[in-house]
Structure 1
Amino acid sequence: MPPLVKIRSERDQMSAIERRITDFILENAHLLRDYSSQQLANALGISQSSVVKFAQKFGFKGYPDLKYSVGEAVARNGNGQPLPPLDAPADAGDAYTRLQEGLRRSKAAAEEETRSLNPRGHVEPIVDMIDRADKVFVCGLGDDGLFAREFAMRLSLLGVLTVHHADPILMMANLAAARPGDVLLMFSEFGKLPQLSQISRQFQACEGKVISITRHTANPLRAHADAALVISAHDPAPHVEQLLYRSSLQSLLDFLFVLLCQANPARHQQLNINLERIQHLLDS
Structure 2
Amino acid sequence: MDFENRLQKHSAEFTENDRKIAEHLLNEKNIAQKSITDLAEEIDVSPSSITRFCKKIRFASFQQMKYALLAARTEKRVNDEEVECVASYYQSIIASTQQFMDTGQTERIANDLIHAKRVLFCGIGNSGLIAKEFNSRIERMGIDSTAITDAHAMVMKSALLVEEDVYMCFSYTGKTQSVLDATRQAKDCGARVIVITTNDAEELTALADEVVLVANHVFVDDEKFINTQISSLFYLDVLTYRLLENSKLMEQRNKTLEALKRFG
Could you tell me how far apart the structure 1 residues matched to 2:234 and 2:259 are? 27
Shift in alpha-carbon separation, 1:64–1:206, aligned structure 2, 3 A: same
Could you tell me how far apart the structure 1 residues matched to 2:195 and 2:93 are? 19
Please state how far the C-alpha of 1:35 moved relative to its aligned partner. Answer: 4.1
Q: 1:88 aligns with which of 66, 75, 79?
A: 75
Counterpart AA for 1:275: L
* Equivalent residues of 1:190, 1:219 under 8 A apart: no
- Which digits, 9 at most, give the CA deviation of each residue in 1:54-95, with x for residues without a partner? xxxxxxxxx95237779xxxxxxxx899223487334xxxx1
1:162 equivalent in alignment to 2:148: no
Counterpart AA for 2:254: N
* Equivalent residues of 1:216, 1:230 under 8 A apart: yes
* Equivalent residues of 2:193, 2:210 under 8 A apart: yes
Please state how far the C-alpha of 1:175 moved relative to its aligned partner. Answer: 3.1
Aligned to 1:3: none
Q: 1:65 aligns with which of 15, 23, 46?
A: 46
Structure 2 unaligned blocks of 5 or more: 20-43, 52-65
Structure 1 unaligned blocks of 5 or more: 1-22, 41-62, 71-78
* Equivalent residues of 2:162, 2:191 under 8 A apart: yes
Please state how far the C-alpha of 1:153 moved relative to its aligned partner. Answer: 1.1
- Superposed, 1:255-266 pairs within 5 Å as 255-262=238-245, 264-266=246-248
Counterpart AA for 1:164: A
Q: 2:132 aligns with which of 149, 154, 164?
A: 149
Q: 2:107 aligns with which of 113, 117, 124?
A: 124
Could you tell me how far apart the structure 1 residues matched to 2:48 and 2:212 are? 30
Could you tell me how far apart the structure 2 residues matched to 1:67 and 1:140 are? 36
Could you tell me how far apart the structure 2 residues matched to 1:167 and 1:67 are? 44
* Equivalent residues of 2:74, 2:85 under 8 A apart: no
Please state how far the C-alpha of 1:188 moved relative to its aligned partner. Answer: 1.0
TM-score, structure 1 as length reference? 0.68
Q: How many residues align?
A: 219
Q: 1:238 aligns with which of 210, 215, 223?
A: 223
Please state how far the C-alpha of 1:219 moved relative to its aligned partner. Answer: 4.5
TM-score, structure 2 as length reference? 0.73
Percent of matched pairs sharing the same residue = 24
Could you tell me how far apart the structure 2 residues matched to 1:174 and 1:68 are? 49
